Amino acid sequence: MKLHVINTGKFKLDGGAMFGVVPKTIWSKTNPADKNNMCSWAMRCLLIEDGDNKILIDTGIGNKQSEKFFQYFYLHGKENLAESLNQVNIHPDKITHVFFTHLHFDHCGGAIKKIKTDDDEDDILELMFKNAIHLTNKKHWDLANNPNKREKASFLKENFQLIEFKKRLQFINEGKLFPNISVKFFHGHTSSQMIPFIKINNKTLVFMADLLPSIGHIPLPYVMSYDTQPLITLQEKKIFLEEAADKKYILFLEHDYIYECCTVKKTDKGIRVDKYGKMEEFLL
Ligand SMILES: [Zn+2]
């Protein structure tokens, strides 16, 4: 089994929204904000090559929305999904499974691409991974298609409806998905966010998605304002981070601007970061 980091680009989100009740005087020491109070974040995906299966976890923000939409997110950085796959010699048609942790736009947007047409014609949308089965769960799919007012701006139908239309959608449950990959659902950020646990080299790597966006979110009160049930996040994070410290999980950080992975340890102040760096250093 081989793992590859797939960088899909960077974007900006409001620092206050990212750190919830924690004041800027504290979070800005580790996450400096620009003049508009925006902080930079990665959209870092993971490709798993396991025998014949080529499983991509999340797909970044994609390219299909309007300029007006993207102007709120200040996309930057040289990387993009297609180029990063190309760098590891994987053609999009070879992807067998796309695993969505959840269907917020910065996690699933890359799965459907816009084909540029003449200015007077409507843009055409196509699956980026036409041979892949796209994995989510029934409860989350129903929410994404009938969102509450708070999450409505994060669930964009053009990011996922074509998958169902093309019959490339599959619902999964918690538990073992592949011999080396199992899935747990978490509910604080959004309903039934899917977190994959990957066994490799006698270690466990966990793709954290929005359960733990960055190293800055390790201390318990650092819960995003985007979370729909922050008290549930708090509980889920506490239990998960203790388990991660005990079992020495490698945490894969989708949104950390700099670091791909980290481990955590127990301290007098609670769980804190232990080591951080590139994924390959942790897998040795
Ligand atoms: Zn999210």
Half-sphere exposure of 146 (CA within 13 A, CB side): 3
Query: Which element (helix H / strand E) includes 233?
Result: helix 230-247
Q: Convert the pLDDT of each residue in 121-161 to its tens digit.
A: 777 999 999 999 999 999 999 999 999 999 999 999 999 99
- Cα-to-centroid distance, 224 and ligand 1 (Å): 10
- Cα-to-centroid distance, 212 and ligand 1 (Å): 10
- Cα-to-centroid distance, 154 and ligand 1 (Å): 8
Cβ atoms 221, 22 nearer than 8 A: yes
- Residues 85-91 have a mean pLDDT of 97
Q: Convert the pLDDT of each residue in 222-280 to its tens digit.
A: 999 999 999 999 999 999 999 999 999 999 999 999 999 999 999 999 999 999 999 99
pLDDT score at 146: 97
With vertex at residue 126, the alpha carbon angle to CA 125 and CA 127, rounded to the nearest 5 degrees, is 135
* Residue ranges near ligand 1 (ion) with Cβ within 5 Å: 104, 210
pLDDT score at 122: 75
pLDDT score at 123: 79
- Residues 31-39 have a mean pLDDT of 95
- Cα-to-centroid distance, 121 and ligand 1 (Å): 32
- Cα-to-centroid distance, 149 and ligand 1 (Å): 15
pLDDT score at 77: 93
pLDDT score at 56: 98
- Cα-to-centroid distance, 158 and ligand 1 (Å): 17
Q: The pTM is what? A: 0.96
Q: Convert the pLDDT of each residue in 230-242 to its tens digit.
A: 999 999 999 999 9
Does residue 120 have a pLDDT over 70? no
Does residue 193 have a pLDDT over 90? yes
- Cα-to-centroid distance, 32 and ligand 1 (Å): 21
Cβ atoms 274, 262 nearer than 8 A: yes
Q: Convert the pLDDT of each residue in 41-76 to its tens digit.
A: 999 999 999 999 999 999 999 999 999 999 999 999
Does residue 218 have a pLDDT over 90? yes
- Cα-to-centroid distance, 103 and ligand 1 (Å): 7
Q: What is the maximal distance between C-alpha atoms in the chain?
A: 63
Does residue 25 have a pLDDT over 90? yes
Q: Convert the pLDDT of each residue in 67-87 to its tens digit.
A: 999 999 999 999 999 999 999
d(CA 23, CA 69): 28
Q: Please choose, from the candidates 149, 274, 279, the residue with its C-alpha nearest in 3D space to the C-alpha of residue 203.
A: 279
- Cα-to-centroid distance, 114 and ligand 1 (Å): 22
Q: Please choose, from the candidates 279, 107, 283, the residue with its C-alpha nearest in 3D space to the C-alpha of residue 209.
A: 107
Average pLDDT over the chain reads 96
Query: In percent, how much of the chain has pLDDT > 70?
Result: 99
- Cα-to-centroid distance, 89 and ligand 1 (Å): 29
Does residue 217 have a pLDDT over 90? yes
- Cα-to-centroid distance, 155 and ligand 1 (Å): 9
- Cα-to-centroid distance, 189 and ligand 1 (Å): 7
